[in-house]
Structure 1
Amino acid sequence: MSEPILSLEAVETDIAQYHILKGVSLSVPRGQVTMLLGRNGVGKTTTMRTIMGLLRNKAGQIRFDGAEISGELASSRCRAGIGFVPEDMGIFSALTVEENMILAAVSGAPDRARLDWLFTVFPPLKTFWKAPAGTLSGGQKQMLSIARAMIEDRKLYLIDEPTKGLAPAIVSTMVGALRELKRQGASILMVEQNFAVARALGDHCVVMDDGRATWSGAMADLATDHALQERLMGLSMEAG
């Protein structure tokens, strides 16, 4: 087994007076899609923001690509090869789609071949290339948010609920794009409440509860064990 691209060991994070992460330990295998699952409010988004450096862990270790990064700024983690798609999309509404994409290409001007590929998986981006991002529909804004992370070949992609609130047709487009990214061998950690999407994309799975990672294993094992789903999350994936 190769070293995981990302590992957390006993990570604790507070937000104001609230103790959110209470010793999270997990690993993300290199070249696989790891789904981060659990009920609402158990710490999944806080985990993602802590990995990205938008929140600072007060204890524990975060190792990325063999290096300890707990003390690094978010900008340094980005330059080191982590792409982040936040739950709130994080696009610049007053800037055009083109300007949003240029800003996301931290290594320089966007690669033309990479951009052409993104236009094939997210056609509306080409259509609205010169339009202000704020004029896009919700689904189109989510496409832009994901495309910003994908504009360069990242070592790790952190993607927080990419299909939340989207129509089925847009969800299908998202899944197709992420499946293509997976086919290229990308390492992905993804929060997703849509279990059908989790089943379709996930190789590995980590389940969280009350600020801790309580189970990890193959996504296929969790997807086929309804009793385990009920025990870990209080619901069955059959509902997804």
Structure 2
Amino acid sequence: MSDPILSLSAVYTDIAQYHILQGVDLVVPRGQVTMLLGRNGVGKTTTLKTIMGQWAAKSGQIQFGGADITQMATSARARAGIGFVPEDMGIFSDLTVAENMALGCISGPLKPERKDWLLSAFPALATFWEAEAGNLSGGQKQMLSIARALAEDRKLYLIDEPTKGLAPAIVSTMAAALRELKAQGASILLVEQNFSVAKALGDSAAVMDDGRVIWTGEMAELATSKDLQERLMGLSMEAH
């Protein structure tokens, strides 16, 4: 694979006394959506947080755009072009939607054309633009979290379970926005338990188990093979 946007080589991460990542090798192709899959508790969220620098890698190497960022501060990784949507959303409840969005803009104010696109993708945010984010529903907060990460063009987006616990209509809105982002040529590493969303968006896939990546390949191959799904994850996608 030529010129990947991101690569992890033998990355180990400990949290307190727990050895969470145990030699993760992962390559994210430029301009594609890579699905990071696996059962709960296998290290997917820790992988994203290690890439973002919220957890420090104990050993191994993380390369982004050809540069070693293993020891780089989280803020510097953000400035280098990595956007992160955490599972817990990280919304500032006492700030307005507009103020939350402003925090996602590193290089300057939100550009009008970018704002127009985001509000067309997430219409609820237009309705509550001047309202405090704490008044939003759970689904609307998740929309805001994603929209904030998309406030500027990023070289890479890390997105952790964006559709978790959401109503089907909001899932459809999320998937449509991510599909449009994909069409724009974005590079995305996406953790997602909704397999219909994973199948629709993913180009490639990496499956984790016990703190390691145990399989990589085309998302289409994984989506069409029940035997592979059950061997790697102990379940069939059709049942989820």
- Give TM class, smaller chain: over 0.9
Aligned to 1:83: 83
Structure 1 position 131 matched with structure 2 position 147: no
Report the AA paired with residue 67 of structure 1.
A
Aligned to 1:10: 10
The alignment partner of 1:238 has SS state of helix
The alignment partner of 1:88 has SS state of coil
Q: How many angstroms does 1:99 deviate by?
A: 0.3
Structure 1 position 116 matched with structure 2 position 116: yes
Q: Distance in 2 between matches of 1:114 and 1:138?
A: 24
The alignment partner of 2:162 has SS state of coil
Structure 1 position 195 matched with structure 2 position 195: yes
Aligned to 2:234: 234
Aligned to 1:155: 155
Report the AA paired with residue 218 of structure 1.
E
Q: Distance in 2 between matches of 1:145 and 1:97?
A: 10
Paired positions, count: 240
The alignment's TM-score, normalised by the length of structure 2, stands at 0.99
Q: How many angstroms does 1:58 deviate by?
A: 0.6
Aligned to 1:93: 93
The alignment partner of 2:107 has SS state of coil
Report the AA paired with residue 116 of structure 2.
D
Q: Distance in 2 between matches of 1:84 and 1:92?
A: 15
Aligned to 1:51: 51
Aligned to 1:143: 143
Structure 1 position 216 matched with structure 2 position 216: yes
Aligned to 1:21: 21
Q: Distance in 1 between matches of 2:195 and 2:116?
A: 30
Aligned to 1:70: 70
Q: How many angstroms does 1:2 deviate by?
A: 2.9
Q: How many angstroms does 1:103 deviate by?
A: 1.0
The alignment partner of 1:116 has SS state of helix
Aligned to 1:37: 37
Q: What do the CA deviations read for 1:161-209 (whole angstroms, capped 9, x no partner)?
A: 0000000000000000000000000000000001000000000000000
Q: What do the CA deviations read for 1:110-165 (whole angstroms, capped 9, x no partner)?
A: 11100100000000111100000010000100000000000000000000000000
What root-mean-square deviation, in Å, do the aligned CA atoms of Structure 1 and Structure 2 show? Answer: 0.5
The alignment partner of 2:214 has SS state of strand
Moved over 4 A (4+): none
Q: Distance in 1 between matches of 2:190 and 2:3?
A: 19
Report the AA paired with residue 95 of structure 2.
L
Q: Distance in 2 between matches of 1:185 and 1:2?
A: 16
The alignment partner of 2:63 has SS state of strand
Aligned to 2:225: 225
Q: Distance in 2 between matches of 1:84 and 1:48?
A: 8
Q: How many angstroms does 1:59 deviate by?
A: 0.4
The alignment's TM-score, normalised by the length of structure 1, stands at 0.99
Query: Unaligned stretches of 5+ in structure 2?
Result: none
Q: Distance in 2 between matches of 1:93 and 1:51?
A: 26
